[in-house]
């Protein structure tokens, strides 16, 4: 990889800024001053320093975001704020959200730049479970629980069986679905003559939203988190 690309990808600056930095003589490759932006490096083995500070190589990134309401799950948009704008320090790695939460939905959203990771969790054939906390207009009944278990009829066909669990708090329930159709939870509630008033994703597979993250905050996934997702990375 070219040194200028490496430095730009690691967020040191734009390609132009990085070229200027090289020209100024502040960049060192294995303790040797390097001025050429074309110099090839091995990011896994070479030690790159700027004014004595090592620039760590980050290739893939995996983040857990507590998505706040009001942000859309996209990388760029002319009208709305996107979830990627909340993760400014990693934007240079071409990150994207793993699946989508509606603008008014909050909670657990994974962010990565790894297409294979995205595929493992989002592929319709994998049926990774997702659990949502729901505040609904009406309290749910045993009949509703049974309807979800049987599979709710949606416009485009029968949804897979889902688990609906009543909470002790009025109007609150937890629903676990195994697919990811457009507005799925809202449409399932609508189909049983109820409406979702607030929606928060609380888990994906066995991975739970880290409740120490405030809305808009994020952290890196840990090895334990990968295990909970059933992935070996
Ligand atoms: N189901 C919905 O209706 N909305 C979401 O954001 C996620 C699941």
- pLDDT score recorded for residue 90: 85
> Looking at the structure, do residues 89 and 187 belong to the same domain, yes or no?
no
Distance 92 CA to ligand 1 centre (A): 28
Report the SS3 class of residue 30: coil
From the CB of residue 32, how many other CB atoms can be counted at a distance below 10 Å? 9
| Residue 233 forms part of a structural domain | no
Distance 123 CA to ligand 1 centre (A): 17
> Looking at the structure, do residues 189 and 140 belong to the same domain, yes or no?
yes
Query: Nearest Cα to 124, choosing from 91, 99, 103, 149?
Result: 99
Distance 90 CA to ligand 1 centre (A): 26
- pLDDT score recorded for residue 8: 87
Q: Could you give the CA distance from residue 86 to residue 45 in angstroms, rounded to a whole number?
A: 31
Residue nearest to atom 3 of ligand 1 (CA): 183
- Judging by DSSP bridges, how do beta strands 105-112 and 196-204 pair with one another? parallel
| Residue 44 forms part of a structural domain | yes
Q: By residue range, what is the domain housing residue 216? A: 62-124+208-228
> Looking at the structure, do residues 186 and 81 belong to the same domain, yes or no?
no
Number of domains into which the chain is organized: 3
- pLDDT score recorded for residue 15: 87
> Looking at the structure, do residues 173 and 224 belong to the same domain, yes or no?
no
- pLDDT score recorded for residue 173: 98
Ligand 1 contact via 199 beta carbon (within 6 Å)? yes
Question: Residue 75 maps to which CATH number?
Answer: 3.30.70.580
Question: Residue 161 maps to which CATH number?
Answer: 3.30.70.1560
Ligand 1 contact via 185 beta carbon (within 6 Å)? yes
> Looking at the structure, do residues 119 and 224 belong to the same domain, yes or no?
yes
Three-state SS across 50-93?
ECCEECCCCCCCEEEEEECCCCECCCCCCCCCEHHHHHHHHHHH
Per residue of the chain (233 residues), give pLDDT as tens: 899 999 988 888 888 999 999 999 999 999 999 999 999 999 999 999 999 999 999 889 999 999 999 999 999 999 999 999 999 878 878 899 999 999 999 999 999 999 999 999 999 899 999 999 999 999 999 999 999 999 999 999 999 999 999 999 999 999 999 999 999 999 999 999 999 999 999 999 999 999 999 999 999 999 999 999 999 76
Question: Residue 10 maps to which CATH number?
Answer: 3.10.290.10
Residues serving a catalytic function are 102
Ligand 1 contact via 134 beta carbon (within 6 Å)? no
Q: Could you give the CA distance from residue 9 to residue 28 in angstroms, rounded to a whole number?
A: 17
> Looking at the structure, do residues 140 and 184 belong to the same domain, yes or no?
yes
| Residue 10 forms part of a structural domain | yes
| Residue 98 forms part of a structural domain | yes
Q: What is the DSSP letter of 29?
A: E
């Amino acid at each position: 990889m070219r040194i200028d690309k490496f430095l730009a990808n690691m967020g040191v600056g734009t390609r132009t800024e990085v070229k200027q930095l090289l020209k100024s003589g502040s960049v060192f490759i294995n303790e040797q001053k390097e001025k050429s932006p074309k110099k090839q490096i091995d990011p896994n083995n070479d030690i790159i320093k700027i004014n004595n500070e090592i620039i760590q190589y980050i290739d893939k990134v995996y983040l857990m975001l507590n998505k706040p309401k009001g942000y859309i799950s996209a990388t760029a948009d002319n009208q709305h704020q996107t979830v990627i704008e909340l993760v400014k320090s990693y934007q240079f790695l071409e990150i994207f959200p793993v699946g989508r939460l509606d603008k008014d939905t909050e909670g657990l959203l994974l962010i990565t730049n790894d297409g294979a990771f995205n595929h493992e969790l989002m592929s319709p054939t994998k049926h990774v479970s997702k659990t949502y906390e729901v505040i609904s207009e009406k309290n749910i009944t045993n009949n509703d629980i049974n309807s979800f278990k049987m599979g709710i009829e949606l416009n485009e066909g029968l949804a897979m069986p889902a688990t609906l669990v009543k909470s002790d708090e009025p109007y609150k329930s937890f629903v676990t679905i195994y697919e990811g159709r457009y507005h799925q939870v809202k449409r399932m509630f609508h189909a049983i003559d109820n409406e979702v008033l607030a929606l928060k994703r609380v888990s994906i597979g066995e991975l739970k939203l880290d409740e120490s993250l405030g809305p808009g905050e994020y952290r890196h996934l840990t090895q334990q988190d990968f295990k909970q997702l059933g992935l070996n990375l």
